[in-house]
Amino acid sequence: MIATNYLIVGSGVAGLTFAIKIAERFPDRKITIITKSNEDESNTKYAQGGIAIVTDETEDSYQKHIDDTLICGDGLCDVDVVKMVVTEGPKRLKELIAWGAKFDKTVKGNFDLGKEGGHSRNRVVHHKDQTGYEIERAILEQVHQKENITVLNHYFALDLITQNNHCFGAYALHEKTNEIIPFQSDFTVLATGGIGHLYGHTTNPVIATGDGIAMAFRANAAIKDMEFIQFHPTALYDASAGSKFLISEAVRGFGAYMRTQKGLRFMINYDERGELASRDIVSQSIDLELKKSGDDCVYLDCTHLDLDAFIKHFPMIYERCKSIGIDIAKDWIPVVPAQHYLCGGITVDKNGKTSIENLFACGECSRTGLHGANRLASNSLLEALVYSEKIYDYLADVSIEKSQFNGIISNWESAEKPKISPDYLAKMKVQLQLLMRQNAGIVRNELDLPKAKEQLLHWKNEMEEVSKTHQISVALYELLNMITIGNLIVQQSIDRKDNRGGFMKV
């Protein structure tokens, strides 16, 4: 067993910023971060667009950012949470800069602010088209400078240790030795990111399998708004790829047009904001256009834009397109919607507290009330920064008491059991992803959802039996977690009776 004061599961911006702050506040306390991949592999790393923050109060205002967020959330945002997150943004940006994160500036030295779908003003602070990568780099450097922070790569969290609605840590699989190790902690923070690979076609990295939410659900934590899945409208179309390369929202903010294969600029037929409508509207519009035409994709037309300016702003996107033979000066970029973000998750209060004592959640795995039925572009990094601060503020004033845990640490040893067939797991994963795309995608059907629920229940029972007779593995538990998440999405989709934001049921 490993004992620690603070256990953080996940190494994205949410978990790392909390770790830095609590380590500085309590240099004599132990902070342990476990992550199932390398420390720099997280959804944060792949965030291209930036952070939506009001930095120019002559052209912008907190109220305008608040209003844009509320409009995008389609009546389901928590207004107090929106106000709190928006108004605290500038402080969190100053912190990032103090930690060494660099953001693009104009020749006059002001922030070079981008504009994305759903925003009424230019307010997205960015580092070219690799903002998440830059933030992750800067905060990891800070983490490594703290002697009381231990980062353990390739430790896969299996389940929470709970008793009487209190969390006392988590069990984790050491992926190199296959040993299952209990981490006993005074406080546990889940910062495990999203669910993208439940859908297969996603902008998320392969580690995004909903592990934290599934663990919290098994521990009876409150989970809400799972039906609100955000599909990014413009992922680069590649029929052979699972993970999709994201063509940032900022490209449309930069002036790109959306066209059908025949050249029609269709977005103006769906929303007066045209290409700059919010993600839910653009994705649903593309879905309808593709169903009407039978085409495989629509297109982003950048041919009228200043090429040098485009390359300066979006070097990674330009190079990726060039590498597959797309010259954006004369070719349109083929795009399709792909799963991008989960607006719901583990229910937390304004301090990041879950419904389980001593368990906190932050970032995409949490449901704060900021996003409502649809997240406003570039509000996710902002939410993670603000809520990691809120968890820190709360725990900075909470004394550590002697552990009240008097249960038995489970014996998970499974070395004597046979290994499960990788082909079996891979085949079931493909079937699960297909089911979710067909039955719980951009537009859902009243008749398909109950059938999906029945199939998911069957797979859940099958996988639970398999897990009793075979060695525990990352692939096995990821599949179990994804089936759990699928059940939550489908059930909460059945329960929702009105179409809002990113949720459409016919």
| Other Cβ atoms within 10 Å of 122 Cβ, number | 16
Exactly one of 92, 252, 279, 500 is catalytic; which is it? 279
Task: Please give the Cα distance from 80 to 129 (Å, whole number).
Answer: 31
CB 469 within 8 A of CB 419: no
Helix or strand or coil: residue 230? strand
The DSSP 8-state label assigned to residue 243 in this structure reads B
Q: Catalytic residue at 123?
A: no
Task: Please give the Cα distance from 167 to 404 (Å, whole number).
Answer: 10
The DSSP 8-state label assigned to residue 166 in this structure reads E
Of 176, 216, 171, 175, the C-alpha closest to 192 is 216
Tokens of 405: 């845990």
- For residue 111, give every residue at least 6 positions away whose Cβ sits within 8 Å of its Cβ, in sequence order, or none: 55, 56, 103, 104, 105, 125
Tokens of 63: 């109220």
How many residues in total does the chain contain? 506
Tokens of 199: 């859908």
Q: Which residue is listed with tokens 């006059």?
A: 108
- Orientation of helix 79-98 relative to helix 62-73, angle to 10°: 120
Strands 359-361 and 179-190: parallel
Task: Please give the Cα distance from 314 to 256 (Å, whole number).
Answer: 13
Residue type, 20: I
Helix or strand or coil: residue 337? strand
Task: Please give the Cα distance from 204 to 42 (Å, whole number).
Answer: 9
Catalytic residues: 279
